[in-house]
Amino acid sequence: MSILVQNLTKIYGTQKALDNITFISEKGKITGFLGPNGAGKSTTMKIATGYIGATYGKVLVDGIDVNKNPLKVKQITGYLPEHNPLYLEMYVREYLTFIASAYKIKSIKRKVDEMVALVGLEREKGKKIRALSKGYRQRVGLAQALIHDPQILILDEPTSGLDPNQLVEIRRVIKHASESKTVIFSTHIMQEVEALCDIVVIINKGKIVVNDKIDDLKSLQNNVVTYKVEFENQVNISIFEEAGLAISVGDSNQYHISSTKEDPRKAIMKIVGEYEMPLVTISKVKQSLEKVFQESTKEP
């Protein structure tokens, strides 16, 4: 089971919300979908779940065109929409029963009990959804998305607005549920992507700017290689700048030296040798995902 987004374009009036995006999300992998607000993340998810139509292009879920056979796709897809809309006047069990019967699940009662246990709603199951806190509502939403054991899971900001404990808890549920499923989920929290995702897709202004495995992303981006260098004494940074290196001053004689052309170590060593600077340590800086995100989505 895979999700193939192919040349997807969505135009609202005169505004292009999605501009010819293509990516694939494979089985057993969690794809993190990142991007600034309004970049087109939710629009992509709404098209993939059959909520709205695309202007051009298509989404194939397990080879099935969402536009041509939406019912079949909806049957195998679990979706948690942004802002997690719920019927607030319903009781937790009543709501899950409604969802289960929508998916035509056979043993509804058993399945509802199972979901309640999975997402940790035992104590709240008899309450009205209106009476639940945000974290618990999010669990109800997650139970809704998982109840029919879908092959495809699409989660739009499932962890927004949760406290740190709830975050860990919900992440655990997602991680647990995602084994053997195809998962796309969007978020603003970078650590979450680092903790959960296998593949990162960053979208900006309706275009994909990054689509890579998370491990490849973190070490190298835009060919910028940065080293953290510590000297025994303070150094004159202009020497490095003259050699074509970018340098920034850290604390206690530490400097970040980077180069876009080639590995900067050679140049650093040459200067160190020439000016006889006592070097204490030198280590490669792993680019954080946050940096990657900022670089790839910054305004020109």
CB closer to another protein out of 152 and 289 = 152
Encoded one letter per residue, x for contact with another protein by CB under 8 A and - for no contact, window 39-78 reads -------x--xxxxx-----------------x--xx-x-
158 is a site residue for another protein (CB under 8 A): no
Rounded to a whole number of angstroms, the minimum distance from the CB of residue 258 to another protein is: 45
Torsion sign across C-alpha atoms 269, 270, 273, 276: negative
Nearest of 64, 113, 119 to residue 93 by alpha carbon: 113
Question: How many residues line the site for another protein (CB under 8 A)?
Answer: 27
Specify the stretch interacting with another protein by CB under 8 A; choose among 92-100, 209-217, 260-268, 285-293.
92-100
Specify the stretch interacting with another protein by CB under 8 A; choose among 32-40, 89-97, 172-180, 205-213.
89-97
130 is a site residue for another protein (CB under 8 A): no
Rounded to a whole number of angstroms, the minimum distance from the CB of residue 79 to another protein is: 5
Among 57, 87, 230, 271, indicate the residue that binds another protein (CB under 8 A).
Answer: 87
Residues that bind another protein (CB under 8 A): 46, 49-53, 71, 74-75, 77, 79, 81, 83, 85-90, 94, 98-99, 101-104, 144
